[in-house]
Chains A and B, each alone.
Chain A
Amino acid sequence: MVEKGQTKTFARKFVPRIIKAALLVVITYLPFYFLSAFIEPFQSFFPWYAPTTNLFAAVFMIFLVVGVFTSGTIYQYVFGVARALVTMIFFIYVLNGGIVTLAVPVEGTSVNVMVDLTVILAMLVLVCLLGIGKNVVQAIDFVSAKVEMKEL
């Protein structure tokens, strides 16, 4: 009887989280999939793109899943901060600090292309910093709410 109740509690607690995590993983994977399909014809110019992006996607999704499973605890925000940090590092690495250079072979000669994406990188870093700030504020809110509950 007790075992049955425990199983029910476990199912009630974790099944929605598993579904939520699965949904979030699918939703997060879609942009990566479409971006990869878009980049595919230019793959030879960005040989470093696929391995880096796959690694980033894997790490991002692990943090996402762990974050969902630890929701309701302080770790949810810790993993949220880690996710934002990983995203920020990924963007800085992929955009080469804002200066993207390519060497495109055209009819036997090498054409060097340089794009300065510092403005876009600054916006992306700002978004990540906002994400970190939001998680930190949420963590403080969470801890203070817990302390208040204890005091009551």
Chain B
Amino acid sequence: MRYAVRALGWATKILWILIIVFSVASVYSAMNVRMGFGQPQAFLSSGFMVISVPLFVNNTGLYDLSELNMTVSVMDYNESLLSTSTTFVPSIPRGSSIETAHNISMNLDDITSKLLDYLFNDTVFNLDMSLKLNFAHSIPFEVSTNMTMPWGAPLYNFSIGQISYNFLNLTHQEAIIPISFENHSPYFGVDGFMRVEIYNDNGELLGSSVSDLNVPSHSSYDSQVETIVDVSKVTGSGEARFYFETSAFSFGPMVMPYG
């Protein structure tokens, strides 16, 4: 009986020492893990807008980190999912560091087809971010947060002014259409072409023209489009149809009445 008591006493003491040493070493190691995010960069790649967030982890602690899993879900104001992305790092051994990038990609065609509002109205996206990892192969750790990301419309406040006509000859006139919008997008410029088609009240095509667009982020576009129209078809009112072909998105027609 005495031996059993003595064995139990020693087992208790050894286990207490193990727990204390492991706890202290874990806290010390956790304090020596440096983790951070770099400056996010946005770029366009074959119809996708990619937001790349550099991630670095420097593990100078005593234990390995494993199964690092970072997930970011982007949702719009209706809570409908736009994109989910995951970055997985199988292992970060002690005394080593990793540098990787977490890429969040959004199909711009999907965005424009589903939610045309994004081209013309500023909004806010909700970001659900979570980072999971296994500490010392025994302590799962998770950090999660919910953030909002402002979305700037690339064609914010798109509007046409009063159409004016320049006399050319008895059959044709030059229609001048003032166009203005602001590129509120912090992520990309509006670079490409804009095609304009002018229709009269009867739905007949009066004329069309193509203009270059080169509107960087956070800048405004204020210009005019000239097109030759048939005088006999001009009715004074009708609609203008706009088609956009840019490096970031393709969209059209956007119909705006005039007159």
Find residues 7-37 in chain B having any chain A CB closer than 8 Å to their own CB.
8-9, 11-12, 15-16, 18-19, 22-23
Is A134 part of the binding interface, using a Cβ–Cβ cutoff of 8 Å? yes
| Given A109-B146, A110-B146, A141-B1, A127 contacting B141 (CB threshold 8 A) | no
Is A16 part of the binding interface, using a Cβ–Cβ cutoff of 8 Å? no
Chain B residues touching A, majority SS: helix
Cross-chain contact B19 with A124 (CB below 8 angstroms): yes
Beta-carbon nearest neighbor of A133 in chain B: B8
Find residues 78-136 in chain A having any chain B CB closer than 8 Å to their own CB.
106, 109-117, 119-120, 123-124, 126-127, 130-131, 133-134
Cross-chain contact A123 with B15 (CB below 8 angstroms): yes
Residues of chain A having any CB pair with chain B under 8 Å = 106, 109-117, 119-120, 123-124, 126-127, 130-131, 133-134, 137-138, 140-141, 144
| Given A120-B19, A127-B15, A130-B15, A137 contacting B4 (CB threshold 8 A) | yes
The 4 closest A-B pairs by CB, nearest first: A134-B8, A116-B140, A114-B142, A141-B1
Residues of chain B having any CB pair with chain A under 8 Å = 1-2, 4-5, 8-9, 11-12, 15-16, 18-19, 22-23, 138-147
Cross-chain contact B139 with A120 (CB below 8 angstroms): yes
Cross-chain contact B16 with A127 (CB below 8 angstroms): yes
A134: chain B residues within 8 A (beta carbon): 5, 8-9, 12
| Given A111-B144, A137-B1, A141-B2, A117 contacting B11 (CB threshold 8 A) | no
B16: chain A residues within 8 A (beta carbon): 127
Cross-chain contact B145 with A111 (CB below 8 angstroms): yes
B4: chain A residues within 8 A (beta carbon): 137
Tell me the smallest distance from the CB of A22 to a CB of chain B, in Å: 23
12 A-B pairs besides A130-B12, A137-B1 with CB distance below 8 A are: A113-B141, A115-B140, A116-B141, A120-B22, A123-B15, A123-B18, A123-B19, A127-B16, A127-B19, A133-B8, A134-B5, A141-B5
Q: Find B11's partner among A106, A115, A130, A141 (CB 8 Å cutoff).
A: A130
Cross-chain contact B12 with A138 (CB below 8 angstroms): no
Q: Find A127's partner among B2, B12, B140, B146 (CB 8 Å cutoff).
A: B12
Q: List 22 A-B contacts (CB under 8 A).
A: A109-B146, A109-B147, A110-B146, A111-B145, A112-B144, A114-B141, A114-B143, A116-B139, A116-B140, A119-B139, A120-B22, A123-B19, A123-B22, A127-B16, A127-B19, A130-B8, A130-B11, A134-B5, A134-B8, A137-B4, A137-B8, A140-B1
Beta-carbon nearest neighbor of A130 in chain B: B12
| Given A119-B138, A137-B4, A141-B5, A111 contacting B143 (CB threshold 8 A) | yes
Q: Find A120's partner among B1, B5, B23 (CB 8 Å cutoff).
A: B23
CA distance A81 to B145 in the complex (A): 43
Beta-carbon nearest neighbor of A140 in chain B: B1
A113: chain B residues within 8 A (beta carbon): 141-143
Tell me the smallest distance from the CB of B118 to a CB of chain A, in Å: 23
Beta-carbon nearest neighbor of B141 in chain A: A115
